[in-house]
Amino acid sequence: MTHPVLINGEWLASSGSQTFQAVNPATMATIDGDYPVSPWDEIEVAIQAAAAASREMRGWPGERFAAFLETYADAIEARADELGDLANQETALPATPRLKDAELPRTTNQLRQAATAARSGSWTCPTIDTKASIRSMFGPIGPVAVFGPNNFPFAFNSIAGGDFAAAIAAGNPVIAKGHSSHPGTTRVFAEAALEAVQNTNMPRGFVQLIYRTTHNDGCRLVSHPLMGACGYTGSRSAGLKLKEAADRAGKPIYLELSSINPVVVLPGAIAERGAELAGEFTSSCLMGTGQFCTNPGLVLLLAGDATENFISAVADKFAEAPIGTFLSEGVQRNFAEGVAALQSAGATLLTGGQCGGGNGYSHQNTLLRVDGTTFLADPEALQAEAFGNGSLLVVADSAGQLAQLAEALEGNLTGCVYSDSAGSDDAVYDQIVPALRTKVGRLLNDKMPTGVAVSAAMNHGGPFPATGHPVFTAVGMPTAIHRFSMLQSYDAVRPHRLPPLLRDEPPGNGCWRLIDGEWSQSSVGA
Amino acid sequence: MTHPVLINGEWLASSGSQTFQAVNPATMATIDGDYPVSPWDEIEVAIQAAAAASREMRGWPGERFAAFLETYADAIEARADELGDLANQETALPATPRLKDAELPRTTNQLRQAATAARSGSWTCPTIDTKASIRSMFGPIGPVAVFGPNNFPFAFNSIAGGDFAAAIAAGNPVIAKGHSSHPGTTRVFAEAALEAVQNTNMPRGFVQLIYRTTHNDGCRLVSHPLMGACGYTGSRSAGLKLKEAADRAGKPIYLELSSINPVVVLPGAIAERGAELAGEFTSSCLMGTGQFCTNPGLVLLLAGDATENFISAVADKFAEAPIGTFLSEGVQRNFAEGVAALQSAGATLLTGGQCGGGNGYSHQNTLLRVDGTTFLADPEALQAEAFGNGSLLVVADSAGQLAQLAEALEGNLTGCVYSDSAGSDDAVYDQIVPALRTKVGRLLNDKMPTGVAVSAAMNHGGPFPATGHPVFTAVGMPTAIHRFSMLQSYDAVRPHRLPPLLRDEPPGNGCWRLIDGEWSQSSVGA
């Protein structure tokens, strides 16, 4: 049986003839159930339905979207066990604690934070200039296509994750394109979403799901005149194809692509707490078999005896640590190719380097090393991402070279610096961080990058190629919502025709507004 | 004599062999003085100097940039007469009141508003999450290339206008690419800017000027790895070439392209004050020979006797009004071609239609007409911009068709609706405005679009093809500044290493900060 797609409020048999199956990465066995590759006609129907929903929802208050998001979060929780078990089969990520105890609560928390943001309206930044009689706010942008990645089947799921929550909170319909590695998980989310759509009387085309498209149809989707924007998290090559199509059509596309998340461990920190840091780094790098967007794939070190001891300690820990299972055969293949490419570019293997060693699709925990001079001779090749349970250590011969390494980095989501508590590393810190700061979205001190709090101050973003635009973040409410909006100014518009959040007397939902240069929750003139 | 270029703090003879001259559009005579087309080597030197300036300025307080902007505004005012006379020669825009009394004060006001924003730091949106120990703000993005347009030789000048002011306020160096139609004006600005750079001890590569490049070198400039972003205002075709190059390199580019700025005049408004509106529309459309980004190039009307009277009145006024001079021969050619293209697509001429009639490069004030059904049959051709002193009137046969016309619009900077004061137009207003709202950056009531106030609530932006991204505005402080920034988050960064605006005790400049969800000008915990 081929699973149906969710189009215009109904589960419909796909008109496509091609199908695919999910694979259990731990057993390498296919999982029962065929999923369709949607042909263009079907996608066009979804776009038209989303556009109709968009038109119908014009001017709706945030409360409507908040109610949907909260109802949906409840519906997800009611199916938590089923989701955990299915996702475990499809991704080999542990059902507990990872999926049920960490990622699922994070996902429903994100949906509820998005609901809170939609309800208060503060994310719309109402701005009032009483003297010029101009008022502005952010409003919905139109139908949003969300492409989810393989590595977070819940928190970044195309029909339940951060991009979905942000697009909905802004008041837009979503066309979700599920990731092929966990279609069953995505289907259960979609069932819960449809239930919430019906229970909160949202339009039929508000939330839709297709499982797979051709690359060409993906490009047609993100560049369609009726679409508003796209959120994409996934591989760099597929993302860049979508970006090119969307850019040409002038459609905003928000991408989360590759990131190697440099970690600088300075000598004083190693002298002070080297053994502890070796453990901390190893846990962060191997967690989830290294399949995190913020996985620390590059470590910058300063040459010296203490550093050599640190490297040995990390290599021992990598060799001893259990080997996890990858999300798919593709991850295994790409990781092995990535490790080989780093070696071709001059890196040497300290430990690991072979496929296998764990259940199903797997690869030995792998540590590579290169000196700073070699890195600087070919920085592009030596910072190509190898997505998985491995990292490249770069040993600089001087603080000046360490600073050069920081200047040679591409854009990344994060950059971490470990220094000692007594201040002996401070001079070097000051030499490298100004450069590092311009290359990363989030700068950390004495902390690994793999935790990503859902906070208004979070930046899960950064310069290209980490993302497509360095002003925006994919995580954090209400900041992530702006991506799916447009700025709308009202010039001399008659007072009764203004959206409620821009009127002199705002609705009583505590929205923060910038009135003549002052932030306030009060009425104009109060 | 060939004028030198301003590179790395010095006026240097260009290494290029190609030159061009400005032309007085009113006399069609070339103006003395050759200006160089900069070859790539020269541009590369400018990029390196800008990158060095960017590195040197890392962490500098906003006060440094504010001081430069204010010193520069003073220096411009000291040369106001010279600038007014030169710009008048190069553009045929009246020296008074337009250039000296309106555009020049607006330009220095913009620079001073940018200075105020840089000094307070409120534009950086410092966001503090004390519980998660994460703090974020917007920071500079790196060297910015600014391409100025022909139509505002002061307020949008590449080295003095809104994009320049915003890029500097964010803490970035600027490489200005002057517009070829007013190189002398741009040169005088650059002289004043260099003086201000020196008087405020800014780095040598902080403000640089080249006059012209090949298209190919323009693309190399905006996609160069050391560049941060680009601001471009000008023709759609040249802008889209730059956009493609910048997009491919993942460099933010902010474009202001074409916009026809639909104006809807409803029957009740015509019945109430038709003669007055005919005058108001005519003035707005012919002001500056129609060469405003927000020129009303499309008027949507509902069929009826009053509408016919309105159309006759406007046609009479167009025929009677004096004919202005275009900025260049190119504008004359493009306008004539645009008018012809609208006719080919089915529009009929009500008045005008021939080149000439004014001093120098000119074209008769031109009014065209088409019915709604014809427009809807080929909306793309009938909303192609004809930049100049003309407009196309579209007469719909019903309110429903008027709503369809609104749905068929491309992205525009503005959309205006005139309705009567008694409320007889309200039902039609409600039918068309929801669609119009999604197509325009700024919605106006009973007001023409040609005034663009520098306000925090202004949106001089809108969906593609009006601009490249609907979240951003090119006019308005501090909002326009965000375009030239990147979001920077600090996760567990030690307190003394935080930028001053993110510390518990901020500097005493009244910066607004979002602390645990509340906007405040106080210290954390206060």
CB of A291 closer than 8 Å to CB of A387: yes
Please answer yes or no on whether A471 and B485 come within 8 Å at the CB atom.
yes
According to the model, what pLDDT value does residue A509 have? Answer: 87
pLDDT at A378 over 90: yes
CA-based nearest residue to A215, from A141, A262, A282, A147: A147
For residue range B130-161, what is the model confidence (pLDDT) as tens digits? 999 999 999 999 999 999 999 999 999 999 99
Q: Is beta strand A144-147 parallel, antiparallel or unpaired with respect to A35-36?
A: unpaired
Helix axes B267-286, B305-320, angle to 10 degrees: 20
From residue A484, alpha-carbon distances to A14, A25, A143, A218 in Å are 28, 34, 9, 19
Residue with tokens 């589960």: A11
According to the model, what pLDDT value does residue A484 have? Answer: 98
Tokens of A75: 């519906």
For residue range A458-476, what is the model confidence (pLDDT) as tens digits? 999 999 999 999 999 999 9
pLDDT at A526 over 90: no
CA–CA min distance B366, chain A (Å): 28
CA–CA min distance B286, chain A (Å): 21
Q: CA B166, CA B113: separation in Å to the nearest integer?
A: 10
For residue range B304-345, what is the model confidence (pLDDT) as tens digits? 999 999 999 999 999 999 999 999 999 999 999 999 999 999
For residue range B263-279, what is the model confidence (pLDDT) as tens digits? 999 999 999 999 999 99
Does the global pTM surpass 0.95?
yes
Out of B459, B485, B512, the one facing A136 most closely (by C-beta) is B459
List chain B residues with CB under 8 Å of A485.
471
How many residues are given for chain B?
526
SS3 content of chain A, % helix, strand, coil (to 5): 40, 20, 40
From residue A306, alpha-carbon distances to A171, A278, A303, A396, B96 in Å are 54, 12, 8, 14, 73
- Environment class of residue A415 by beta-carbon count within 10 Å: exposed (0-12), middle (13-18) or buried (19+)? buried
Q: What is the mean pLDDT of residues A361-376?
A: 98
For residue B505, count other CB atoms closer than 10 A to its CB. Answer: 12
According to the model, what pLDDT value does residue A297 have? Answer: 98
Please answer yes or no on whether B517 and A456 come within 8 Å at the CB atom.
yes
Domain boundaries, chain B: 5-118+137-257+472-481, 262-445
pLDDT confidence bin for A354, thresholds 50/70/90: very high
According to the model, what pLDDT value does residue A19 have? Answer: 98
pLDDT at A41 over 90: yes
- Number of Cα atoms under 13 Å in the Cβ half of residue B124: 29
CATH homologous superfamily of B5-118+137-257+472-481: Aldehyde Dehydrogenase; Chain A, domain 1 (3.40.605.10)
List chain B residues with CB under 8 Å of A242.
none
Tokens of A419: 């220094």
DSSP A25: T
Render B216-271 in DSSP notation, one character per residue.
HHHHHHHT-TT--EEEEES-HHHHHHHHHHHHHHT--EEEE-----EEEE-HHHHH
Q: What is the mean pLDDT of residues B234-249?
A: 97
Tokens of B299: 């008027």
3-class DSSP string for A454-507: CCCCCCCCCCCCCECCCCCCCCCCCHHHHHHEEEEEEECCCHHHCCHHHCCCCC
Please answer yes or no on whether B469 and A244 come within 8 Å at the CB atom.
no
pLDDT at A508 over 90: no
Please answer yes or no on whether A458 and B517 come within 8 Å at the CB atom.
no
Out of A433, A489, A493, the one facing B441 most closely (by C-beta) is A489
Q: Please give the distance of CA A90 from its chain centroid, rounded to a whole number.
A: 19
Q: Please give the distance of CA A270 from its chain centroid, rounded to a whole number.
A: 31
For residue range A308-347, what is the model confidence (pLDDT) as tens digits? 999 999 999 999 999 999 999 999 999 999 999 999 999 9
CA–CA min distance A259, chain B (Å): 14
pLDDT at A1 over 90: no
CA–CA min distance B371, chain A (Å): 24
Q: Which residue of A has its CA nearest to B141?
A: A438
Catalytic residue numbers of B? 256, 293
Please answer yes or no on whether A251 and B139 come within 8 Å at the CB atom.
no
List chain B residues with CB under 8 Å of A468.
250
Q: CA A156, CA A222: separation in Å to the nearest integer?
A: 19
For residue range A418-469, what is the model confidence (pLDDT) as tens digits? 999 999 999 999 999 999 999 999 999 999 999 999 999 999 999 999 999 9
Q: Which residue of B has its CA nearest to A140?
A: B438
Q: Please give the distance of CA B125 from its chain centroid, rounded to a whole number.
A: 24
From residue A234, alpha-carbon distances to A94, A146, A331, A387, B71 in Å are 21, 11, 12, 11, 48
Residue A159 backbone phi and psi in degrees, to 5: -120, 15
Tokens of B20: 């061009």
Q: CA A165, CA A255: separation in Å to the nearest integer?
A: 16
Please answer yes or no on whether B433 and A497 come within 8 Å at the CB atom.
yes
For residue B306, count other CB atoms closer than 10 A to its CB. Answer: 18
Averaged pLDDT of chain B: 97
Percent of chain B with pLDDT over 70: 100
For residue range B276-313, what is the model confidence (pLDDT) as tens digits? 999 999 999 999 999 999 999 999 999 999 999 999 99
List chain B residues with CB under 8 Å of A520.
519
Percent of chain A with pLDDT over 90: 99
Residue A254 backbone phi and psi in degrees, to 5: -110, 120
For residue A42, count other CB atoms closer than 10 A to its CB. Answer: 20
Q: What is the mean pLDDT of residues A490-499?
A: 98
Q: Please give the distance of CA B19 from its chain centroid, rounded to a whole number.
A: 27
Percent of chain B with pLDDT over 90: 99
According to the model, what pLDDT value does residue B146 have? Answer: 98
CA-based nearest residue to A364, from A392, A406, A386, A336: A336
Q: What is the mean pLDDT of residues A29-36?
A: 97
Instruction: Classify each residue of B123-144 as buried b or exposed e, where b means 16 or more C-beta atoms within 10 Å of its C-beta.
Output: bbbbbbbeebbbbbbbbbbbbb
Q: Which residue of B has its CA nearest to A135?
A: B457
Please answer yes or no on whether A470 and B487 come within 8 Å at the CB atom.
yes
Q: Is beta strand A440-445 parallel, antiparallel or unpaired with respect to A412-418?
A: parallel
Task: Please calculate the CA angle B324-B327-B328 and round it to the nearest 5 degrees.
Answer: 115
pLDDT confidence bin for B509, thresholds 50/70/90: confident
Percent of chain A with pLDDT over 70: 100
- Pick A262-445's CATH classification: 3.40.309.10, 3.40.50.261, 1.10.230.10, 3.40.1130.10: 3.40.309.10
Residue with tokens 């471009």: B232
According to the model, what pLDDT value does residue A34 have? Answer: 98
Q: CA B89, CA B223: separation in Å to the nearest integer?
A: 34
CB of B293 closer than 8 Å to CB of B233: yes
Q: Which residue of A has its CA nearest to B470?
A: A486
Please answer yes or no on whether A489 and B442 come within 8 Å at the CB atom.
yes
List chain A residues with CB under 8 Å of B252.
469-471
Residue A191 amino acid letter: E
From residue A257, alpha-carbon distances to A198, A308, B250, B321 in Å are 34, 32, 12, 57
Q: Please give the distance of CA A44 from its chain centroid, rounded to a whole number.
A: 26
Residue with tokens 């339940």: A160
pLDDT at A94 over 90: yes
Q: CA A217, CA A147: separation in Å to the nearest integer?
A: 13
Q: Which residue of B has its CA nearest to A138?
A: B471
For residue range B29-68, what is the model confidence (pLDDT) as tens digits? 999 999 999 999 999 999 999 999 999 999 999 999 999 9
Out of A142, A438, A468, the one facing B142 most closely (by C-beta) is A438
CB of A38 closer than 8 Å to CB of A5: yes
From residue B20, alpha-carbon distances to A24, B23, B27, B164 in Å are 67, 10, 18, 24
Q: What is the mean pLDDT of residues A222-246?
A: 97
SS3 assignment, position A290: helix
Category of A324 on φ-ψ map: left (φ > 0), alpha (ψ -120 to 50) or beta: beta
- Domain A5-120+137-257+472-481 is in which class? alpha beta
CA–CA min distance A162, chain B (Å): 18
Residue B116 amino acid letter: T
Please answer yes or no on whether B487 and A441 come within 8 Å at the CB atom.
yes
Please answer yes or no on whether A457 and B250 come within 8 Å at the CB atom.
no
Q: What is the mean pLDDT of residues B175-193?
A: 98
pLDDT at B1 over 90: no
pLDDT at B526 over 90: no
According to the model, what pLDDT value does residue B125 have? Answer: 97
Task: Please calculate the CA angle B35-B38-B44 and round it to the nearest 5 degrees.
Answer: 150
Q: CA B525, CA B508: separation in Å to the nearest integer?
A: 16
